[in-house]
A and B are shown apart, each in its own frame.
Chain A
Amino acid sequence: MATLARTMERKSESTITVAYEHPWVVRVAHWLGAVAVCVLITSGLRIFLAFPSFGPKIPQQNFFVLPPKSITLGGWLAGGLQWHFTFMWIFVASGVAYLVYQAVSGHWRQVLFLPRDIKGVWPMARHYFLLGKKPDVVEAYNPLQKLAYTSTILFGIVSTLTGMVMYKPAQFWWLAWPMGGYHYARIWHFVAMCGFVAFIPGHLMMVELHGWNNFYSMITGWKREPEYRK
């Protein structure tokens, strides 16, 4: 740890500008959530391989493309379930801790994607993917970031609720109704997983593009030489 702290400081031995970005709860929730999402995706795909279909058992129509077993976790169905049923608690706990913190601190106003942010999404996307002009920075998080972060919360909520319906349908039958019925829970659960799978590479790419100071900031909470410093 001390080594990591030194590595992170090697570049600048002098006094520099720093900003406190991520409180402890947010950082712990981020990293626990990150690990949990990876475990849940890979073990979830292992569970899916036991019956790679969204229809009935007879006749069984397999999903058109199957995830390779090598990227799955757990070895067999029971193993996948063990990982899934263990990390679902870590996932939900870190998600709830994050949401409670954001609600109590008022910081949700910085991150929550609202209708007024819609108009800012395209200019930001054009900047990133089509090398357009960078829109003026007016808030801590730009509209595209807000959309991405808010989406992950949505994926988390959807995957939790659909997971509850699949896990305990006799107890949570009333939750299945707004999803379109019991069989849709499995489909929406899969869709939410795809959402996370789409988010992760984009998220990592942005961290790489915007410099490792962002990464260190999510570890120590402090951002060195914040780019929004006026």
Chain B
Amino acid sequence: MADQHQLTPGDEHAPHPSSPVEAGAEHTAARQNNRETSHPDNATDAIDDVTYVAEQRGPAGEPIREMSARERRGINRRELLKLAPVVVIGAFAIPQTREPLLNAGLGLSDWAAGILFGRRRLAQQYSNNEVAPFQRFPYNYYDVADPEVDLERWTLTVEGQVQKPGEYKLAQIQALPKVVQNTRHVCVEGWDVIGNFGGTRASDFLRLVGADLSARYLEVTCVDDYYESIDMETVLHPQTLFCYEMYGQPLDRGHGAPLRLQMPTKLGYKQAKYLDSIRVTNVLSRGKRGYWEDQGYDWYGGL
């Protein structure tokens, strides 16, 4: 008994969970013993005094016992089969199944991220002295730092499920209420920077052009041939901006002049610069999801 107690220290506080059959059998046997030897009136007291037959148990609570080689082989085979879930992940080692599995994993993560996203939950905003100096705000681009946008003639093409498609001037966008926010810009690489951004709420502009707000995506293309697509829920988020200012100045060419996306609820690669056109749609044209996404980065890219 002492040995058993030492091996399973939990015993003194709670009945051991495993192997109720053996334990129960001993219990009953001991109980009957007590009934035979004690006076009926004392029977209840006697049951409380029952001592278990000293039988040593393993860490899982089952009795330690003798087992024949034949029985062991049977058990081993059965237990090995029960490890099938572990063998299944071996599919990740096979090139033909690896890619679909990893895509499924990424899809699961994106699905969960969409569930997690709070329509009205705001990303943190920061005070002016927490904002990084403009010189420390990195220029990140995939091709050229300056695609030489003709700022004088630039217009934003609006297409898709909108009542008023066409070309929109920067002044028309700037005429809408201006939002200025200090938010964190997070790069998928692992760095981040708190910046100051000014612009128009994407939702305000989409209402101006009469967009179908129940559509699933906003597709954007850029002057430098970059392209992106964003879920409508994020587009309509109150902190999602068509950004034309940083640090109180018009966007400079390196940061995407004259207009870029700025979404503190998305990773940096979703924040397309040098916007050329936007399209409200339920189906992504040409099946294109985004410049980096089509190469293996996750589409949702949410924060």
Query: Inside 8 A of A106's CB, which chain B residues have their CB?
Result: 10, 14, 16-17
B85 cross-chain contacts in A, Cβ below 8 A: 28, 32
Q: What 0/1 pattern do residues 190 to 230 of A give for CB contact below 8 A with B?
A: 00000000000000000000000000000111111010111
B151 at the interface (CB under 8 A from A): no
CA distance A189 to B195 in the complex (A): 25
Say yes or no for A130: interface residue by CB 8 A criterion: no
With A1-B80, A53-B191, A81-B297 already in contact, the answer to whether A18 and B102 are too (CB < 8 A) is no
For B30-69 the 0/1 string (1 means CB < 8 A from A) is 0000000000000000000000000011111110111111
The answer on a CB contact under 8 Å between B138 and A58 is yes
Q: Which of B11-41 contact A (CB under 8 A)?
A: 13-14, 16-18
- Supposing A18-B67, A230-B3 touch, asked if A51 and B189 sit within 8 A by C-beta, the answer is yes
**Known contacts A58-B138, A182-B184; is-contact A15 B68 (Cβ 8 Å):** yes
Report whether A81 and B303 are in contact in the complex, using a CB–CB cutoff of 8 Å.
no
User: In the complex, are the beta carbons of B56 and A229 less than 8 A apart?
Assistant: yes
Q: Which residues does chain A contribute within 8 Å of B103, judged by CB atoms?
A: 82
How far apart are B140's CB and chain A's nearest CB, in angstroms? Answer: 9
In the bound complex, do residue A19 and residue B59 qualify as a contact, i.e. CB atoms below 8 Å apart?
yes
Binds A, one of B117-125, B207-215, B280-288: B117-125
Q: In the assembly, what is the distance between CA of A159 and CA of B164, in Å?
A: 49
A4 proximity list for chain B (CB < 8 A): 80
Number of residues from A at the complex interface, CB < 8 A: 75
Interface residues on B, range: 35 or more
A142 to chain B, nearest CB (A): 12
Q: Are A85 and B109 in contact (CB under 8 A)?
A: yes
Q: Does A57 contact B (CB under 8 A)?
A: yes
Known contacts A20-B60, A58-B136, A138-B6: A171-B80 contact under CB 8 Å: no
- CB pair A140 B81 closer than 8 Å: no
Task: State the CA gap A58–B138 with chains docked (Å).
Answer: 7
**B 283-297 binary contact with A (CB < 8 Å = 1; else 0):** 000000000100111
- Which among B65, B189, B193, B295 has the greatest number of chain A C-beta atoms within 10 A? B189
* A contact residues around B57 at 8 Å (CB): 19
Q: B117-170: which residues lie under 8 A (CB-CB) from chain A?
A: 117-118, 121, 123-124, 132, 135-138
Q: For B104, what are the chain A residues with a Cβ–Cβ distance below 8 Å?
A: 86
A window 1-29: CB within 8 A of B: 1-2, 4-6, 8-9, 12-24, 27-28
A–B complex contacts, Cβ < 8 Å, 26 sampled: A1-B77, A1-B81, A5-B80, A9-B69, A17-B65, A19-B60, A19-B62, A21-B59, A27-B79, A28-B86, A35-B89, A47-B190, A51-B191, A57-B187, A58-B135, A58-B136, A86-B102, A104-B17, A106-B10, A141-B59, A171-B303, A173-B123, A219-B79, A222-B67, A222-B72, A230-B56
Ranked nearest first, the 10 interchain pairs of A and B with the lowest CB-CB distance are A86-B105, A19-B58, A78-B296, A51-B190, A109-B10, A20-B62, A170-B123, A57-B191, A5-B76, A140-B59
Which B residues fall within an 8 A CB radius of A?
Answer: 3, 6-10, 13-14, 16-18, 56-62, 64-69, 72-73, 75-77, 79-83, 85-86, 89, 92, 101-106, 108-109, 113, 116-118, 121, 123-124, 132, 135-138, 184, 186-193, 264-265, 292, 295-298, 302-303
